[in-house]
Amino acid sequence: MVRGSYLLRTVLSSKRLANSGPLIPKSSRHFSFTSRNNSEGNFQSFKSQLYESTQQRLKRERAEQERFAQYQNQPSSGRQAALLFALVFFSAGSYYLGSLKPASLPKSSTTPLVDAQPPQHDTSESNLQAAWADFVSILGKENVSTDRLDVDAHAGSDWSSYSRKDSEKPFLVVYPSTTEEVSQIMKVCHERLIPVTPYSGGTSLEGHFAATRGGVCIDFNRMNRILKIHQEDLDVVVQPALGWEELNEELAKDGLFFPPDPGPGAMIGGMVGTGCSGTNAYRYGTMREWVLSLTVVLADGTIIKTRQRPRKSSAGYDLTKVFIGSEGTLGLVTEATLKLTVKPKNESVAVASFLTVHAAAECVTRVVKEGIPVAGVEILDDVQMKCINASKSTSREWSEAPTIFFKFTGTPVAIKEQINMVQEIVKSTAGRSFEFARGDEEVRELWSARKAALWSVIAMKRNPDDQVWTTDVAVPISRLPDIIEATKQDISQSGLIAGICGHVGDGNFHAIILFNAKEKKLAEGVVHRMVKRAVEMEGTVTGEHGVGLVKRDYIEHEIGESAVDAMRRVSHQSPPFNCALSVVFNDLHLKLAFDPLCLLNCDKVVRVEQRAPGDGKEW
């Protein structure tokens, strides 16, 4: 019994050691930071803290051993008395703990914002420095960066619609190369309560990778490979930092094709996170239709695979769809199995110009209603065409009028038939001109204007401090002409330079607004009214860009407050038990969500804390 008592104390002592952080032998780690701003004094202080912490734990161990030796030397009667006391103490303690009634489990299906628990993170410098040492042991020093330029580059971008605060940047950036390394990183962050921001291509537009809580940025840049092409099954397994353009270049060698095509530079991880689409969405659908399975690292480091590779499955909840569009708030995608299709053998493009943007949009609705199977339908207004000409983004001059770009695929006979049908509709909706490509070179030339839309507006900056706000909405196709015309008038009245473009075949369009600091309120007003119109027309606040930080407060107007509360329950559920008792009641502790500590991309999609005065626009 004495030996059992000692073992119990040893186990408790070991748990205390585990909870106090990992022991870091001096010989196994080198405490040197990549940041230029860390002084030798900071280095010595950090090293001293770790050394003192280790010494204190060793002293506690020695004290435990001395107490045990003293106990062994006690007379037999003394040991019996001590044993009796221990039995009474533990029995009374067990009875007391057993009589405690744990906090009741949540009974509601939603979590209103007023009931949400604010995140409790530990972003103290000492905790982050200790985590740095852990990451170095996992990844190597060369893959853990605190360089100021590196950190700033991972805090935001010039084309994001979210203007970050100076404090909103990560403490360090880590570069894993495998799912297992991502898992180990998350285990460290989970243990130390450090918030995490995922990063792949960095092309997002709504503030998705703004590090609002600081902490750690996980850059998947080293995870950029095609792992396996199953040509006969028409699917491919890839890592998150692979670009869709590079993927299609490789697939073309086997006559295959991955349809989603957002902006240049986008990578698979971000495309999954936002549920993006692109210019092929009218014919092929969005990212949600082209993801078969995902490998995901959860907030505590657990690795899951959402399903196998078949094209269909009715096996339980569809976890794959849960993570698509979750913007990195529920888990970190480290592998994706994507559906493929056969690359079209024939392709052509036609361009039509119109007197008004309303007439152009009306032409699109007519094409959709006629059921003409075009591969893509894109619209650019007159301002957008002027920007393309002025920026010299393409090698030809364009008519500076509202323009529709059509893409056709299929057999030569089918393409010719589609072109003739579309040409008739263009004539009946006051089209000014209609031309179609007569070869592969012309196809690339005509379609290049659509892909140059964003960059052509960025090129129109009047001074280096100008910003570009790119936003999107989607409405039922019958309401498309009305909302585009109303948005066009609103932009004209504001006096801002802004182009309109979009994948109008499925009712989705974008506004690309150029503004400076003095014009920011004007730009905010234009975007606000654009979103409000879309919701009032039974549309959505974002067709493909995602919610991020900018559109969080608009979702409840689209789907209702209760639906947003249900999202909050899924993405930011707090533990049901008091933290002080959670260790005691570990077996009863139910994890009601993927990220109970709100470590993953905190603040995105739904709010987890009450809005500060002046933060966001009133409806």
Residue 287 or 595, more confident? 287
For residue 355, pLDDT beyond 80: yes
For residue 188, pLDDT beyond 80: yes
Q: What is the mean pLDDT of residues 39-54?
A: 52
What confidence score (pLDDT) does residue 290 get? 97
3-state secondary structure 441-489: HHHHHHHHHHHCHHHHHHCCCCCCCCEEEEEEEECCHHHHHHHHHHHHH
Q: What is the mean pLDDT of residues 502-530?
A: 92
pLDDT tens-digit series, residues 231-279: 999 999 999 999 999 999 999 999 999 999 988 889 999 999 999 998 8
What confidence score (pLDDT) does residue 583 get? 33
Q: Are 217 and 172 in contact (CB under 8 A)?
A: yes
pLDDT tens-digit series, residues 570-591: 554 444 333 333 333 333 233 3
- What's the one-letter identity of residue 440? D
Helices (H) and strands (E) in the chain, counts: 20, 18
Query: DSSP secondary-structure letter at 20?
Result: T
What residue ranges define each of the domains in the chain, with the CATH number in brackets?
2-99 (no CATH), 125-219 (3.30.43.10), 226-342 (3.30.465.10), 347-536 (3.40.462.10)
- Is residue 592 exposed (0-12), middle (13-18) or buried (19+ Cβ within 10 Å)? middle
What confidence score (pLDDT) does residue 183 get? 98
Rounded to an integer, what distance in angstroms lies between the CA atom of residue 259 and that of residue 164?
Answer: 33
What confidence score (pLDDT) does residue 611 get? 74
Question: What three-state secondary structure class fits 423?
Answer: helix
For residue 196, pLDDT beyond 60: yes
Q: What is this structure's pTM?
A: 0.76
pLDDT band at 610 (very low <50, low <70, confident <90, very high): confident
387 Cβ contact list (under 8 Å, min separation 6): 453, 456, 457, 459, 460, 497, 499
Residue 401 or 65, more confident? 401
Place of tokens 């263009």: 426
Q: What is the mean pLDDT of residues 186-193?
A: 97
Rounded to an integer, what distance in angstroms lies between the CA atom of residue 504 and that of residue 282?
Answer: 8
Rounded to an integer, what distance in angstroms lies between the CA atom of residue 568 and that of residue 549?
Answer: 14
Q: What is the mean pLDDT of residues 491-502?
A: 93
Geometric angle at alpha carbon 26, from 28 and 125, rounded to 5°: 95
Annotate 19-57 with b (16+ C-beta within 10 A) or e (fewer).
Answer: eebeebeeeebebebbbeeeeeeeeeebbeebeebbeeb
**What's the chain's average pLDDT?**
82
What confidence score (pLDDT) does residue 572 get? 47
197 Cβ contact list (under 8 Å, min separation 6): 154, 170, 209, 210, 211, 215, 216, 217, 218, 328, 601
pLDDT tens-digit series, residues 469-485: 999 999 999 999 999 99
- Is residue 406 exposed (0-12), middle (13-18) or buried (19+ Cβ within 10 Å)? buried
For residue 55, pLDDT beyond 90: no
Q: What is the mean pLDDT of residues 156-179?
A: 88
For residue 70, pLDDT beyond 60: no
